[in-house]
Amino acid sequence: MKKQLLLSLSFAGTIAMAQTNKDAAKFAASITQKDLKDQLTIVASAEMEGRETATPGQKKAAAYIESQFQKFGLKPGNGSSYQQVYPVFQDELKEAKLNLYNLPFDYDRHFSISLNSAINGSWNLKEVAFVAYGISDSTRNDYKDLDVKGKWVMLLDISPADMEKGDSYTPTNNRFGNPGLNAKITAARKNGAAGIIIVSKIFDQTNRPASSRMGSMYRERTSRDGMAPIPTISVSYQAAASILTRVVTSYTGLKNIAAGLYATNATISINKSTNNLESSNVMGLLEGTDKKDEYVILTGHYDHLGTRDGVIYYGADDDGSGTVSVIEMAEAFAKAKAKGKGPRRSILFMTVSGEEKGLWGSEYYASHPVYPLNKTTVDLNTDMVGRIDPAYKGDSLNYVYAIGEDKLSSDLMKITDSINVTAKMEIDRRYNDPKDPNRFYYRSDHYNFAKNGVPIIFYFDGVHKDYHRPTDTVEKINFDLMEKRVRLIFNTAWVMANKEDMLKRDTPLNMPGR
> How high is the mean pLDDT of the chain?
92
The distance between the two most distant Cα atoms of the chain, rounded to a whole number of Å, is 102
Q: Which residues lie below 8 Å from residue 341, measured CB to CB, with a gap of 6+?
A: 23, 27
Lowest mean pLDDT, pick from 58-62, 180-184, 249-253? 180-184
DSSP 407: T
Lowest mean pLDDT, pick from 171-185, 368-382, 489-503? 171-185
Q: State how far the Cα of 69 lies from the Cα of 285, in Å rounded to an integer.
A: 9
Query: Does pLDDT of 267 surpass 70?
Result: yes
Q: Find the mean pLDDT for residues 474-497.
A: 98
Query: Does pLDDT of 505 surpass 60?
Result: yes
Q: Find the mean pLDDT for residues 229-235.
A: 93
Decide if 356 contacts 305 (C-beta within 8 A): yes
Q: Quickly state the pLDDT bin for 371 (edges 50, 70, 90).
A: very high
Q: State how far the Cα of 24 lies from the Cα of 1, in Å rounded to an integer.
A: 34
pLDDT at residue number 225: 59
pLDDT in tens, 190-221: 999 999 999 999 998 877 778 888 888 999 86
pLDDT in tens, 44-93: 999 999 999 999 999 999 999 999 999 999 999 999 999 999 999 999 99
pLDDT at residue number 362: 98
- Estimate the share of the chain in helix, then strand, then coil, as percent rounded to the nearest 5: 35, 25, 40
Architecture of the domain delimited by 91-275? 3-Layer(bba) Sandwich (3.50)
Beta strands in 302-344 (DSSP E): 307-308, 311-312
Q: Quickly state the pLDDT bin for 10 (edges 50, 70, 90).
A: very low
Compute CA 81 distance to the chain's CA centroid, rounded to the nearest angstrom. Answer: 25
Decide if 422 contacts 25 (C-beta within 8 A): yes
Q: Find the mean pLDDT for residues 296-320.
A: 97
Query: Does pLDDT of 175 surpass 60?
Result: no
Strand 376-382 and strand 456-460: the pairing is: parallel
Q: Where are the domains of the chain?
A: 26-89+278-498, 91-275
Lowest mean pLDDT, pick from 4-18, 25-39, 396-410? 4-18
Q: Which residues lie below 8 Å from residue 5, measured CB to CB, with a gap of 6+?
A: none
Query: Does pLDDT of 9 surpass 60?
Result: no
Helix/strand/coil (H/E/C) assignment for every residue in 334-387: HHHHHCCCCCCEEEEEEEECCHHHHCHHHHHHHHCCCCCHHHEEEEEEECCCCC
User: Which superfamily does CATH assign the domain made up of 26-89+278-498 to?
Assistant: Zn peptidases (3.40.630.10)
Query: Does pLDDT of 5 surpass 70?
Result: no
Q: Which residues lie below 8 Å from residue 376, measured CB to CB, with a gap of 6+?
A: 294, 295, 296, 297, 369, 449, 454
Strand partners, 282: 83, 351
Q: Quickly state the pLDDT bin for 7 (edges 50, 70, 90).
A: very low
Query: Does pLDDT of 512 surpass 80?
Result: no
DSSP 141: B
Which of helix, strand or coil describes residue 58? Answer: helix
Q: Quickly state the pLDDT bin for 482 (edges 50, 70, 90).
A: very high
Which of helix, strand or coil describes residue 165? Answer: coil
Q: State how far the Cα of 154 lies from the Cα of 144, in Å rounded to an integer.
A: 15
pLDDT at residue number 209: 75
Q: Quickly state the pLDDT bin for 122 (edges 50, 70, 90).
A: very high
Q: pTM value?
A: 0.85
Q: Quickly state the pLDDT bin for 21 (edges 50, 70, 90).
A: confident
Query: Does pLDDT of 182 surpass 90?
Result: no
The residue type found at 282 is V
pLDDT at residue number 111: 96
Whole-number Cα distances in Å, 498 to 64, 136, 300, 504: 29, 56, 22, 14
The closest alpha carbon to 253, from 174, 167, 182, 345, belongs to 167
Q: Quickly state the pLDDT bin for 156 (edges 50, 70, 90).
A: very high
Lowest mean pLDDT, pick from 97-111, 168-182, 443-457? 168-182
